[in-house]
Amino acid sequence: MPLGPETRYDSRPFASSTPNHGYSIEQVKQWRTEQEKAGKPSSLDDFLLAHQLCVHCRSAGKFISGVHWQDSSGVEHTIELLAPGVPETIASLHQRELKNSLRWDYTYATCEVCEGTGKRPG
């Protein structure tokens, strides 16, 4: 993920998971364009709200919660990015640890607002 060194970590997915709920990217773009032309709110969050999808996780049902990696010596490591007191960004973690790792991947946590469904509660 190409983030600059000053980028603060946002655990929400960068793109919505709307295709998982039956909306293609093209449909989302069309809806947003139509809303904008009509002078109505047209952000991605507005789309999610209008279609009863969870804004908190952008309809993914989960968040990136941490990173798990194996260093060049084969030792496994995990860091929880959402833990209190962890001032880590993915960019700083990559610079310090991940760029020389053998392999790495994100770990995920279920969205507490929608309980993993990606749909707006209520």
What are the tens digits of pLDDT across the range 60-114?
999 888 889 888 888 998 888 766 666 667 778 778 778 778 888 888 899 999 9
Half-sphere exposure of 92 (CA within 13 A, CB side): 10
DSSP annotation string for 74-103: S-EEEEETTSTT----HHHHHHHTGGG-SE
User: 33 — phi, psi (to 5°)?
Assistant: -65, -45
Note the pLDDT tens digit of each residue in 27-70. 999 999 999 999 999 999 999 999 999 999 889 999 888 889 88
Task: With 0.85 as the threshold, say if the pTM is over it.
Answer: no
